[in-house]
Structures are given as C-alpha cells and as structure tokens.
C-alpha cells in the first residue's frame, strides 16, 4: 500500500482507520448480507447508522436538545441559498461579514434569493484579497438583522475567526465547512452552523447543519419542501433519500474522533501541526512569506509565498515527486497552501516541514 501525504484543500484526507473500516464493511455491513449503500433508508440497519451520526455530532460538541442536527445534500453551497430563503423576512435584511471568497459567494446568493436585503456589515477585502479577520469595532451591525453570517475559516486565504463576534441578540450563522470540529466550541453562541463534510468530517455532497429549534420554528414555510428546515427537522433528515453512504462515512469519522479522545484531543493535534508549520515559516521570513496577519492565521489552511512564482512552481513539482500532494494555493491567491484538516497527521506535517528545509537549502 502506498498512501501519500495528502494536503488537498477539499475533498481532503480522511483518517486511514476510517477508510479501513469502510473497506472491511463494504461488501457486507454488520452481518446484514449487503453493503450499507444497498439498504433502505427506512430500514433498521441504516436508521441505526443515521441516528448514531446525529448522536455523535451532539455528543462531541456537547449539544443539547435545543438544536436540530441535520444531514442534507447540496454541500455548503445549498446552505448559501437555504439560509436566506428561510430566514430573511419580506423587506427585512441579514448581515454578512466578508472575509474571503466563500463569504462573498454566500452573500451574493443571499442577494439573489433572499426576499429582503443582504447587507455587508464588514469586509476586510482589498481588491479581492483578504489577509485578516475584522475586529469587533469594525463591524457595522444592524440590530434589526434577521441574522449575521460569518465564514469561520477562510479556506482560500488561510484566515480564521479565533473568537466569534458579539452580535447582541441577533442570531449568528456560520459556514464552518473548513474548520468544523477542529476544536471544542460553544454551539449555543450560534443560531445555525453548517459545514460541507468534505474537509473535516467525511466525503463531499453532504452538509451537516446544526440549527436552533426556535429558529426552525420561525423559518419561512413558503419555500420548496426540499429546502425547508422545518420539513427536514420534522423528518429527521429522511424527508427524501439521504446520502446514506456519505452519512455512514461521516458516522465513521465521528466514531473515530470519539475513540481518539474527542475534540479536545483533536484540538491538541491541530495546534501541534499548525504550530510547527508556522514556526518553520517564521524562522525564515526572507524565504517563506506568510501574507496573513498573525492573529488571523488559520490552523486549517496555512498559506505562504516563496520569493518568486518560478520557485513556487518548482516547490510544487518537487513536493509532488516526494509524495507531498495538494499544496498548490487557490487560483485567486497563488502560492502554497498546506491544508492541515483533522485527518492530516503530525507525521505528514513534519514531512512537509522537512521538505521545506531541504528546498530552502538547495534554492
């Protein structure tokens, strides 16, 4: 077997034991004579997996019964539409804080499909480039907004909210696609959280949504059934045929996360990985240039530049030849991006650091 060091930004690395479990159970799931994909979504075998995925999400995050946990299709991008369609009242408005390409997309979609306004309450972008998270004092929040939307980690630019904004009484909604469960956090600060599964908790095409029940009750009903939080909550994410295999894989990731010691242990590992990589960058600022403001640095996507684009090209080619893949920065920013999601090991991180030293010495 030749697994290589995978730093893909998404879909991204999955824990090896999770893949091995899926391989063992692929042909026959839990003595049932068929794979999980071949089971009815209304049958007992699948239902146990489905409910375990929901229960583990709640357990790992310490969430009580005041939130609905949903597993929906359409990834994070469908949530860009469902949130404004459900929560912006006619003639009302919602606030968006722009910190990167994904928050721009969420805001644009809200402008398109919301039945009111989608304001920009703050933006740290300059000519489409973002290098920091705004301070509380920079937020121009509307106390009458239906919600405030943030992107907790900016996958393209490598910035991350390390403490969440104070929105007064206005529900905070977060796209946590690229840092969901990177550490324990207080879910009760949020009206809604959503995340595409493919960075930290599973395969693509699946989104996990945590939404406060009192918000679900207030959600607009004049939306298509398939886009209705009320219906998905009432039907326990079984209104339509869900992505059963995706949810099974997410269940395996969550069960493995629990086995490791839960989110406190995941945080310890993530801080060790990101800490080591940023230390390597900072030790050589003439060669490795980190464009992101220090306080805003992401623990999940570490972005840096080399002295020239030519060197960056060579770095990426040499890295690939060494079995270090997925390091190319997003097309909007260029440079190098090392994605250190939950499933990326300290060993892989050390391999990339060793390669950086070697490349530096030769350059």
Ligand X SMILES: *Cc1c(COP(=O)(O)O)cnc(C)c1O
Interactions with ligand X, residue window 88-127 (CB under 6 A): 102
Interactions with ligand X, residue window 182-241 (CB under 6 A): 196, 199, 204
The DSSP 8-state label assigned to residue 93 in this structure reads E
Does residue 97 contact residue 149 with C-beta atoms inside 8 Å? yes
Does residue 155 contact residue 177 with C-beta atoms inside 8 Å? yes
Residue from 167, 177, 298, 349 that binds ligand X (CB under 6 A)?
177
Residue span binding ligand X (CB under 6 A) among the ranges 48-56, 73-81, 138-146, 253-261: 73-81
Q: Tell me the closest approach of the beta carbon of residue 286 to ligand X, in angstroms.
A: 31
Considering CB under 6 A, how many residues would be counted as binding ligand X?
13
Task: Verify binding: residue 355, ligand X, rule CB under 6 A.
Answer: no
Nearer to ligand X, 61 or 78 (CB): 78
CA distance 148 to 314: 42
Residue from 75, 203, 246, 329 that binds ligand X (CB under 6 A)?
75
Q: Where are the beta strands (DSSP E) in the chain?
A: 5-6, 67-73, 93-98, 117-123, 125-126, 129-130, 148-151, 153-154, 159-160, 172-175, 192-196, 206-212, 301-304, 324-325, 336-339
Residue from 5, 6, 10, 250 that binds ligand X (CB under 6 A)?
10
CA distance 99 to 75: 20
CA distance 172 to 84: 13
Residue span binding ligand X (CB under 6 A) among the ranges 44-52, 87-95, 173-181, 260-268: 173-181
Nearer to ligand X, 93 or 177 (CB): 177
Residue span binding ligand X (CB under 6 A) among the ranges 40-48, 74-82, 86-94, 110-118: 74-82
Nearer to ligand X, 8 or 204 (CB): 204
Active site residue 199: yes
Task: Verify binding: residue 246, ligand X, rule CB under 6 A.
Answer: no
Residue from 57, 155, 257, 296 that binds ligand X (CB under 6 A)?
155
Q: Is 330 left (phi over 0), alpha (psi -120 to 50) or beta?
A: beta
Active site residue 105: no
Q: Tell me the closest approach of the beta carbon of residue 48 to ligand X, in angstroms.
A: 26
CA distance 52 to 312: 44
The DSSP 8-state label assigned to residue 178 in this structure reads T
User: Within 10 A of 19 (CB to CB), how many other CB atoms are there?
Assistant: 15
Roughly how many angstroms between the first and final C-alpha of the chain, as a whole number?
32
Nearer to ligand X, 158 or 335 (CB): 158
Footprint of ligand X (CB under 6 A): 10, 75-77, 102, 151, 155, 175, 177-178, 196, 199, 204
């Amino acid at each position: 077997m030749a697994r290589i060091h995978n730093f893909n930004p998404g879909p991204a690395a999955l824990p090896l034991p999770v893949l091995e479990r899926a391989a063992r159970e692929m042909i026959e799931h839990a003595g049932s004579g068929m794979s999980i994909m071949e089971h009815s979504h209304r049958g007992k075998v699948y239902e146990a997996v489905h409910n375990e995925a929901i229960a583990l999400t709640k357990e790992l995050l310490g969430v009580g019964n005041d939130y609905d946990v949903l597993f929906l299709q359409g990834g994070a991008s469908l949530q860009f539409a469902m949130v404004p369609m459900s929560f912006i009242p006619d003639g009302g408005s919602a606030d968006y804080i722009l910190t990167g390409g994904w928050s721009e997309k969420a805001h644009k979609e809200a402008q398109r499909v919301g039945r009111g306004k989608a304001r920009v309450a703050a933006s740290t972008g300059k000519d489409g480039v973002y290098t920091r998270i705004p301070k509380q004092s920079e937020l121009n929040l509307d106390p009458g907004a239906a919600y405030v939307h943030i992107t907790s980690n900016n996958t393209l630019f490598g910035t991350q909210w390390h403490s969440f904004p104070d929105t007064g009484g206005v529900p905070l909604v977060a796209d946590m696609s690229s840092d969901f469960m990177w550490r324990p956090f207080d879910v009760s600060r949020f009206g809604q959280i959503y995340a595409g599964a493919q960075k930290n908790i599973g395969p693509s095409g699946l989104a996990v949504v945590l939404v406060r029940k009192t918000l679900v009750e207030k959600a607009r009903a004049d939306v298509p059934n398939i886009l209705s939080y009320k219906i998905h909550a009432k039907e326990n994410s079984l209104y339509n045929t869900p992505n059963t295999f995706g949810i099974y894989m997410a269940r395996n990731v969550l069960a493995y996360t629990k086995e490791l010691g839960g989110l406190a242990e995941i945080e310890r590992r993530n801080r060790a990985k990101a800490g080591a990589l940023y230390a390597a960058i900072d030790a050589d600022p003439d060669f490795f240039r980190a464009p992101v403001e220090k306080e805003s640095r992401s623990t999940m996507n570490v972005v840096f530049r080399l002295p020239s684009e030519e060197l960056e090209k060579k770095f990426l080619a040499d890295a690939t030849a060494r079995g270090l893949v997925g390091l190319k920065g997003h097309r909007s920013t260029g440079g190098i991006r090392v994605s250190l999601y939950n499933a990326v090991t300290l060993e892989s991180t050390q391999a990339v650091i060793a390669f950086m030293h070697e490349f530096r010495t030769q350059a």
